[in-house]
Structure 1
Amino acid sequence: MRRRKKTRSLLGIILEKTLNIVKQCENLTNEAIILCAAGVVFVFVFAFAIWRITLSDPCDGSNIYHSLCQQYQAGEIAGRLCYTMCLEQEDLFSYCLDDDGNTKTFLYDQSIVRVNYTLISHGDPDLSLQEGTTVLELRERMNVYLLQTQGHSSIDLLLRLLEFSDFNHDEKISLGEAQSIWQLIHIPEFLYYFIFQKSLVFPHLNATCGSMYAFQYTPHINLFDKTKTSWFKKVFTNSYKWNLPAWPRRAKLSVGLLEFVMDIYEEYDNRYLMCDIGPDQFGYTKNHDLLVADVSGIVSMKKVEWYLRNLTCGSDSQCMYSKQCFSQCDVDAGQCSGKVVRPGLWFVCDMLQDYILFDAPRYLYFDLKRLLNRCASLDARRDGIDIEHAILQEDFKSVLWNEIVNSPLI
């Protein structure tokens, strides 16, 4: 908030100077008045630009600030970001990136700050805990919620969530801390970022305040985009490849994709699938380190299998959770098998066809093509698929790393 106070002072000075210029213009000749008026217009436009950039509030940042700090001071929420915002008076909301009405996104100090505006402004009785809620009660509530949404829970994950909720590290969990973690785990993006915090390809969670959370900023928000249509792209169908990073950097990002598949394969004794996978689900840093940009397609395998097993069918086309997560139909039984046909690596390899073969070193092209062909034959229903999956992933990583480890671009 300090920046806004300084800006208001600056605008006051500009206004005062503008009024002085207007007074001086009254006694000038016609030609001079025109020049003077032009100067006043310039100053006005400059002042408006300063106001628009620093004082306008397109994402309701001031309302978010007052609501959260009021709840923080009342002990209803907690978090390190609360201290930064409410006590250190840091302005977290001066740069609005996106506003879809319900969710508002800001950029602050190389972090994305994400806010569920409806929850903060109106609250949700189901996400409010009663005074006197014990740690055991909170743990049981979280356990039930994870079982319902993920199809699985684990003691390790619950203990990590409870440890994270002790924001002031006093080995006690206050009502504000309990209520904050309870609200946060109801946000799928936060929950998946938390579950996969050990993975280098998931953005790092930096801090929270109630249901507001900050995580690592991803400068480049997708690997490539071949969906945009224009007359130019109709003539040059591969023009989207012209702006791709140099091949060694794409190789490094491809290794990140392969690691991503294994990172979500099994975590806390629960397997996860990427049921919506494409180049717009991944971004990367300025050092070309892969980061997941969209977790909406990540789903627990148990949840997918439960959904598919409860579908009746007459053909395979009726056994779909998504285009990437589907099973076969047992026509005799009229029931979907529930066994997902394609593993995640199959879809990553399908994406790499467009990404890693383009402009690859000639002596490496056929090795990459051979690996991609092996990948295209993966079938999750086969015996030994776990071992086959792991071996192929390691073979792919080995070929890529051996080529790029000494590259001057990495």
Structure 2
Amino acid sequence: TSTVLFRRSFVARFSYLHMKYLFFSWLAVFVGSWVVYVEYSSYTELCRGHECRNSIVSTTVINTEKESSMLGCVLIQLLLRSLQVYSGHWGDLQGVVKCQMEEAPHYDLGGEMEPRKEASAFNKPTKGTSVEKFREMIVGHLKAKVEDQANLADLATHVLSVADANKDGHISLPEARSTWALLQLNEFLLALVLQDREHTPKLLGFCGDLYMMEKVPNSPLYGISLPWIVEVWIPAGLRRSMDQWFTPSWPHKAKISIGLLELVEDIFHGTFGSFLMCDVSTATFGYNDRHDFKVMDARYIIPEATFQERIRQQRCDADEDCLYGTDCLTSCDLTKHRCTPEVTRPNLAKACDTLKDYILQGAPSDVSEELEKQLYACIALKGSVEQMEMEHSLILNNLKTLLWKKISHTKDS
């Protein structure tokens, strides 16, 4: 009997020690990984900050101290934040400085949606180019990006007003070259196209190929950002629950959701053509203190004309070969082994997919059933928008109306 009791006691003690050892081992791995992550992130940030500064100093755009001062370069202070976005100051204004040191991943589409840095070299326009000739260059570039639109001249005029960085009524060569380099970027182009809307942060200024946008305090759209080393230890169910803990009240979520739906509306057959949303993840969106929706990363919101021109050149053996970003998928024409130009899902379906868990959680009982019905009808949309324009507009309007009715009488509106 005593032998049996000893064995049981030994087994119990061994199990306890085993579990204790596993717990502390896991904790040590977790803490160690976190330290390595933080140290590595800081190191890469410092390197990239150095590269960004060198990029400005070495460009031919800014070649005198006077011009550098004029464009505000001396006032930029880069502070560590994330891999391509830095907090900073433009004079007395606070914002985020975006450093396009590398191109957005282009998924081997035969031609790049977002040109490499060297393609945006500061060698255009050439010395001696008149303002009128520069305007023609801008109109030609915009036409290639968004096709021929009736009011491209108005957009070109706005680009020229932005190019005059110090508002002295004269566009210098450094200002023109900076503007031309930035105009190659999807995000900068979208900020100009949506200049009168509130969905993109305001452009505060630019210097070389750095540009500063209004700071948006809350991102991602919902949930909490964690390092990948932490993510692997968290079960999917717990991760979803954690995401819901870090969300505003439901009326505020409704207002933010209306903002995303309005963005979809604005870039669908908008003033300057249609744009495709090729990464509709929560990380690309955010909101300000008034719960106004904002686009945080617009590199994958691209002109539909540009997308279609590039995707047609892509060779394919299956539909999976015709993917750009995470959300712009077309089909593969197996007779020609070329990708077709029409995306399989419209922007609205992707937006509703992102909003589903966000807006249904905590929805008032008197709207939750109808809201769920409308969202799933929205997610089910397939094919090009042109083929189902009426259904697309109906679902979009129904969703906006349903949400707006619920919050229009409250202070949250």
What is the rounded CA distance, in whole Å, between the counterparts of 2:185 and 2:207 in structure 1?
13
- SS where residue 206 of structure 2 aligns? strand
Amino acid at match of 2:87: F
Question: Within 5 A, what are the aligned runs for 1:217-236?
Answer: 217-225=215-223, 229=231, 231=233, 233=235, 236=238
Q: Which residue of 2 aligns with 1:46?
A: none
What is the rounded CA distance, in whole Å, between the counterparts of 2:82 and 2:382 in structure 1?
41
Amino acid at match of 1:97: L
What is the rounded CA distance, in whole Å, between the counterparts of 2:191 and 2:385 in structure 1?
31
Aligned: 1:391 with 2:387: no
Shift of 1:162: 1.3
Amino acid at match of 2:363: A
Distance 1:233 1:248, change over 3 A: farther
Distance 1:329 1:218, change over 3 A: same
Amino acid at match of 2:197: S
Distance 1:75 1:179, change over 3 A: farther
Q: Which residue of 2 aligns with 1:198?
A: 196
Which of these residues, 91, 98, 114, is aligned with residue 81 of structure 2?
98
Q: Is the 8 A contact 1:308 1:319 kept in 2?
A: yes
Work out the number of aligned pairs and report it: 342
What is the rounded CA distance, in whole Å, between the counterparts of 2:142 and 2:409 in structure 1?
44
Q: Is the 8 A contact 2:122 2:181 kept in 1?
A: no
What is the rounded CA distance, in whole Å, between the counterparts of 2:314 and 2:47 in structure 1?
48
What is the rounded CA distance, in whole Å, between the counterparts of 2:247 and 2:292 in structure 1?
15
Q: Is the 8 A contact 2:146 2:274 kept in 1?
A: no
Distance 1:105 1:239, change over 3 A: closer
Q: Which residue of 2 aligns with 1:257?
A: 260
Question: Within 5 A, what are the aligned runs for 1:364-383?
Answer: 364-381=367-384
What is the rounded CA distance, in whole Å, between the counterparts of 2:343 and 2:248 in structure 1?
34
Shift of 1:378: 1.6
- SS where residue 324 of structure 2 aligns? coil
- SS where residue 81 of structure 2 aligns? strand
Q: Which residue of 2 aligns with 1:29?
A: none
Which of these residues, 112, 123, 128, is aligned with residue 127 of structure 1?
123
* Long gaps (5+) in structure 2: 1-45, 103-117
Q: Which residue of 2 aligns with 1:141?
A: 137
Q: Which residue of 2 aligns with 1:240?
A: 243
Amino acid at match of 1:111: G
What is the rounded CA distance, in whole Å, between the counterparts of 2:313 and 2:48 in structure 1?
45
Q: Which residue of 1 aligns with 2:180?
A: 182
What is the rounded CA distance, in whole Å, between the counterparts of 1:288 and 1:339 in structure 2?
34
Shift of 1:197: 1.7
Amino acid at match of 2:312: R
Q: Identity over aligned residues, as a percent?
A: 28
Distance 1:269 1:134, change over 3 A: same
Which of these residues, 398, 403, 407, is aligned with residue 400 of structure 1?
403
What's the TM-score once normalised by structure 2's chain length?
0.71
Q: Which residue of 2 aligns with 1:71?
A: 62
Which of these residues, 310, 320, 324, is aligned with residue 321 of structure 1?
324
- SS where residue 283 of structure 1 aligns? strand
What is the rounded CA distance, in whole Å, between the counterparts of 1:150 and 1:168 in structure 2?
28
Shift of 1:342: 1.0
What is the rounded CA distance, in whole Å, between the counterparts of 2:281 and 2:122 in structure 1?
34
Q: Which residue of 1 aligns with 2:88?
A: 107
Q: Is the 8 A contact 1:59 1:104 kept in 2?
A: no
Shift of 1:59: 3.9
Shift of 1:390: 2.0
Q: Aligned-pair RMSD on alpha carbons?
A: 3.6
The structure with the largest alpha-carbon Rg is 1
What is the rounded CA distance, in whole Å, between the counterparts of 1:67 and 1:126 in structure 2?
11
Instruction: Point out the more displaced range, 312-321 or 247-256.
Output: 312-321
Shift of 1:73: 4.7
What is the rounded CA distance, in whole Å, between the counterparts of 1:335 and 1:362 in structure 2?
48
Distance 1:128 1:321, change over 3 A: closer
Q: Which residue of 2 aligns with 1:37?
A: none
Question: Within 5 A, what are the aligned runs for 1:149-160?
Answer: 154-160=152-158
Q: Can you list the C-alpha shifts for 1:112-134, whole angstroms capped at 9, x where unaligned?
A: 2335679xxx9985535433211
Q: Can you list the C-alpha shifts for 1:191-223, whole angstroms capped at 9, x where unaligned?
A: 322222222110011223444322210111201
What is the rounded CA distance, in whole Å, between the counterparts of 1:196 and 1:304 in structure 2?
19
Shift of 1:264: 1.7
Distance 1:362 1:169, change over 3 A: same
Q: Is the 8 A contact 2:100 2:209 kept in 1?
A: yes
- SS where residue 323 of structure 2 aligns? coil
Q: Can you list the C-alpha shifts for 1:152-194, whole angstroms capped at 9, x where unaligned?
A: 6732222211122233445443323322322332344323222
Shift of 1:242: 1.7
Q: Can you list the C-alpha shifts for 1:82-112, whole angstroms capped at 9, x where unaligned?
A: 2xx65xxxx541x603375xx5623334322
- SS where residue 348 of structure 1 aligns? helix
Amino acid at match of 1:273: L
What's the TM-score once normalised by structure 1's chain length?
0.71
Q: Is the 8 A contact 2:145 2:305 kept in 1?
A: no
